Amino acid sequence: MSNLETALRETAARLLRDGRVALVLGYEAGSVPFRTAPAFVERAEDVERLVWNPFCTNNLAVYLPEVKSVGRVAIVAKGCDARSVVTLIQEHQIPREQVVILGLCCSGMVDVERLVPAGGSLAGIAISTGTDGRLTVESDGDRRTLAAGEILQERCNVCEYTRPPVADEILGDPAGPLAAPVEPFAVVAEMERRSPAERQAFWRDQFDRCIRCYACREVCPACYCRTCFVDKAAPRWLSRASTVDDNWMFHAVRAFHLAGRCVGCGECERACPMDIPISRLNRMLDREVRERFGYVAGLDPESVPPLGTFRPEDPDPGGHEG
């Protein structure tokens, strides 16, 4: 990892020094060992701030529409993040020439909760990385050594794009599939084994916890509407109040707005302070879009998102009851 970090810093410094980009969007050390923070580096002498480790979880593409006014931007991108950048390019939120994708071959991001035993505390934790890449985690008198690959986020366990599919520069060796690959839509299939009444009850429970903080919406690079449907008064689609009904409407509509556009980065779920497994909705639609239209989000900057087009030979559902 540290070689990759060095290569990343050198690349960033070169791009800034040569004036090729005005800004490098990357990660820097966070306020605690298991977090990083999005970093905006504008000067070559500041590239030492940039880090690359299994805690670089944020999808930095979310900043592109806002920072593009500074000029050309380089973005440190994992496979999922690069696909988000492609989605933004497809939808004309940033011209292809204005972004330099620094694609990093990714071995997965740690699920921070799993750094400590169940019920353990992250307070006062210390993490060090050995020369073999394994993490030594010390917290509350407990000391363990493990490989980051053993405690990855769920979305990393099903990742198919560890090597960014679109990039201007690729850093690191293309990593093979992550350890113990899991069937990508297993979590969707699990829900489908439940009856409609069980699903209703499940989601009502989840949406009962939602406080409408919109963290899910704000971390999502695909949610860039200046005025979200939630904020419209005419027509007024739903209430600002956090009732189960309105929360249901918010999440159902948002999931639909992301159909064919969500790349499965999982940041919505990580950001949710109420632990709502919100990405399952997006994952289900991802599967449907693949099966019905043969389309995977964020692979080709030239293609049109699936709901913005059609084919005369699309399956004809007329006459079916769904």
Query: CB-wise, 156 or 166, nearer to another protein?
Result: 156
Min dist CB 60 to another protein, Å, is: 9
Q: How far is the CB of 166 from another protein (least distance, A)?
A: 24
In the complex, least distance from residue 183 CB atom to another protein, rounded to whole angstroms: 17
Measured from the CB atom, the residue of 105 and 246 that comes closer to another protein is 246
Q: What pairs with residue 27 in β-bridges?
A: 38
Nearer to another protein, 44 or 252 (CB): 252
CB of 238 to another protein, least distance (A): 8
Least distance (Å) between residue 130 CB and another protein = 23
Residue 274: name the closest of 253, 247, 256 by CA: 247
Q: In whole angstroms, how close is the CB of 271 to another protein at the nearest point?
A: 4
Pick 179 or 215: Cβ nearer another protein: 215
Nearest CB to another protein, comparing residues 166 and 223 = 223
Tally Cβ neighbours within 10 Å of residue 183: 9
Q: Measured from the CB atom, is 119 or 130 closer to another protein?
A: 119
Strands of the sheet containing 36-41, edge to edge, are: 36-41, 23-29, 73-77, 99-104, 169-171
CB 77, min distance to another protein, A: 16
Q: Which is nearer to another protein, 163 or 283 (CB)?
A: 283
